[in-house]
Amino acid sequence: MNAPDVKKPPKWFDAITMNIIYFGITLRSQTLTPLIAPLLVQQFVGESSKGSAYGTIRLVTLMVALLVQALAGALSDRSTSRFGKRRPFIALSGILEIIAFIAVGIIAGTMEGMAGYYALFAVLIFSMVSSNIGHGAAQGLIPDLVPTEKRGRYSAIKAFFELPLPLIVVAFTVSRMVSNGNIWGAIITISVVMAATTLLTMFVREEPQKGPAKPIDWQAVGRLVLMTLTFTAIILLVGWGVRQLLPTLQSLPNQQSRVLIAIVGVVGMLIAVAVGVIFSVRISLGEQASKRSSFTWWVINRLAFLVGANNLSSFVLYFIQERFPQFAGERAAGPTSQLMLVVGIAILLISLPGGWLTDKFGKKPLIFFSGILAFLGTLIVIIATTMPVIYVGGVLIGLATGIFFSANWALGTDLVPADQSGKWLGISNLAGAGAGAVGAYIGGPIGDSAGYVLLMGLYGFLFLFSTLALFRIKPSPVEA
C-alpha cells in the first residue's frame, strides 16, 4: 500500500480544517445547480427548450471543471510554496469564486433573453474554473496528511461537510430566499460562507514541500487536455446520437415511444460512462492506467453512482413542476429545497457512522449496499403521488449517498500513488464533473421530450450499474 509519510499525528481539529472547504464548495453548487441556474435558464430561454439549454451549460462547465481540477491537483503536487502545497490554490479559488457569485447576481437582476443566457453561461464557466482550482488541490489533503487506517473516518467527515450540512443550510436559508425572488440574498450568503471556509482551511497544518520545485511535465498537461477533449467528444457524440433519434421515437405510439426512449437513454449514458472513463484515464495516465486498472473501475463506479445522485438534484425542480402543476415557476423552489433538506438530514445521520462502518466492514460491501439502496429510493420517488412519499424515497437516497461518499472516497485514496494523489484524484473528477455532463447533456433532451419522471428512472438504473463496476476493482500488487 502506498502511504504518505505522516510526520505529525492528526489532531481532532485537523479533520475540520482539512474538510471545511467542501462545505463552501457544495453550498455553492447546491445553490447554483438546482435552484438559481435552472430558474434563470427557464426565464431566459422558455419552457420548451429549458432542459436542452441547461444540459448544454452543464456539459461545457463541467468539462471545464474536469480539466481545471486535474491540472490544479497536479500543479499542487509540485508546489513548494512556503505556505504549503495545497493552501495557496485554495485561497486563490475562494477569492475568484466570490467575484463569480456577484456576477451571477448582476446578470439575474439586469439581463433577459438569450443575452442573459449567454452571459450566465460565461460566468458559470468562470465559476467552474475558480471553484476547481481549490477543489483539485484540497483533494490531496487527506492522502497527504492522514494515515491509511484513519482515512475512512476522515472521508466520512469530508462527506459530512460536502453533503448534509450544505443541503440543510440551503433548505433553511438560501432556498427560501430564491423562492421569494431574493437572488441577492442567496448570493451574499454563499459568498460569506465561501470566505469563511477558505479562511478556516488556511489553518491546515500543512508543511512546505522540501526540495526544489519539480518542473512542470508539459506532456502530462497535454494528456490532461486531450483527456478532457476526448471525454467531451464522447459525451457530445452520444448526446448527438440520442437527439437524432428522439424525433423518430416520439412519433411512435406513446407507450412504445417511452420504452424505446428509455432504452436509448440508458444505453447512451452507459456508453458515455464506461467508454468515456476507460479512454480518458488511459489517455491521461498512459501505461500507469493498465498497471492500476482498479483505479479506472473505481472512477466508473463513482461516475455511474454520481450520474444518478447529482442529476436527481439538478433536475428535481423540473420533475416537481411536471408532477405537481401547482408548483409552477419559482414556487417549485420550496418543495425542491424541502426534498433536499430531507436528503441532507439522512446524509447527516449516516455520514459519520458510515465512516466507522467503512473501517469496520470494508469499503466495497458498503459501496455495493449504497447502490442498491439508492435505486430503491429512486423507485419510490418515481411512483410516489404525494410529496410525503417522495420524501421517503429521498431519505433512502440520502442514506445511500452518505454511505457511498464515505466508503467510495476512502477506497479511492487507497488506489492512488501517495506522491501523486492530487493528480490522480483530480483525474477522478471524470466522475464528479462527468456525472453532471453525462446526465444533463444526454438527459436534458430526454426530459424535454419524454418527461422528467422517465428521466429519473434512467438515473435510478445508473445506481444499479454502479454496483456492477465494483466487481472489477481488484487491486494489483502495485496498488496493494
pLDDT in tens, 431-480: 777 888 888 889 989 988 898 999 999 999 999 999 999 988 976 544 44
- Using CB atoms within 10 A of its CB, is residue 53 exposed (0-12), middle (13-18) or buried (19+)? buried
Whether pLDDT at 331 is above 80: no
Position 477 scores a pLDDT of: 47
Position 154 scores a pLDDT of: 84
Q: Can you read off the three cell numbers belonging to residue 305?
A: 453512482
Position 376 scores a pLDDT of: 96
Lowest mean pLDDT among 4-18, 271-285, 441-455: 4-18
User: Would residue 21 count as lying in a domain?
Assistant: yes
User: Would residue 7 count as lying in a domain?
Assistant: no
Q: Name the strand (E) or helix (H) holding 130.
A: helix 113-138
User: Would residue 9 count as lying in a domain?
Assistant: no
User: Would residue 50 count as lying in a domain?
Assistant: yes
Position 459 scores a pLDDT of: 93
User: Would residue 416 count as lying in a domain?
Assistant: yes
Cα 464 to Cα 28, 307, 369, 373, 396: the distances in Å are 29, 11, 10, 9, 14
Q: Where are the alpha helices (DSSP H) in 286-362?
A: 287-291, 293-323, 333-361
Number of Cβ atoms within 10 Å of the Cβ of 136: 32
Distance CA 476, CA 480 (A): 6
Distance CA 433, CA 29 (A): 12
- Using CB atoms within 10 A of its CB, is residue 345 exposed (0-12), middle (13-18) or buried (19+)? middle
- For residue 333, what is the domain's CATH number? 1.20.1250.20
N-term to C-term CA, the chain: 5
Position 272 scores a pLDDT of: 94
Average pLDDT of span 81-100: 94
Lowest mean pLDDT among 17-21, 217-221, 406-410, 464-468: 217-221
Whether pLDDT at 6 is above 70: no
Average pLDDT of span 37-60: 88
Position 170 scores a pLDDT of: 87
User: Would residue 226 count as lying in a domain?
Assistant: yes
Q: 203-215 burial, b if ≥16 CB within 10 A, otherwise e?
A: ebebeebeeeeee
User: What is the phi-psi region of residue 46: left when phi exceeds 0, alpha when psi lies from -120 to 50, beta otherwise?
Assistant: left
Average pLDDT score, the chain: 87
Average pLDDT of span 183-204: 96
Q: 3-state DSSP call for residue 85?
A: coil
Distance CA 334, CA 474 (A): 44
Number of domains in the chain: 1
pLDDT band at 191 (very low <50, low <70, confident <90, very high): very high
pLDDT band at 116 (very low <50, low <70, confident <90, very high): very high
Distance CA 479, CA 294 (A): 9
pLDDT band at 30 (very low <50, low <70, confident <90, very high): confident
pLDDT band at 3 (very low <50, low <70, confident <90, very high): very low
Position 475 scores a pLDDT of: 61
User: Would residue 1 count as lying in a domain?
Assistant: no
Q: Name the strand (E) or helix (H) holding 409.
A: helix 387-415
User: Would residue 388 count as lying in a domain?
Assistant: yes
Of 232, 18, 194, 236, which is closest to residue 100 (Cα–Cα)?
194
Whether pLDDT at 5 is above 70: no
Q: What range does the domain containing 431 cover?
A: 14-205+213-472
Position 8 scores a pLDDT of: 65
What is the total residue count of the chain? 480
pLDDT band at 129 (very low <50, low <70, confident <90, very high): very high
DSSP state of 145: H
Position 425 scores a pLDDT of: 77
Q: 3-state DSSP call for residue 146?
A: coil
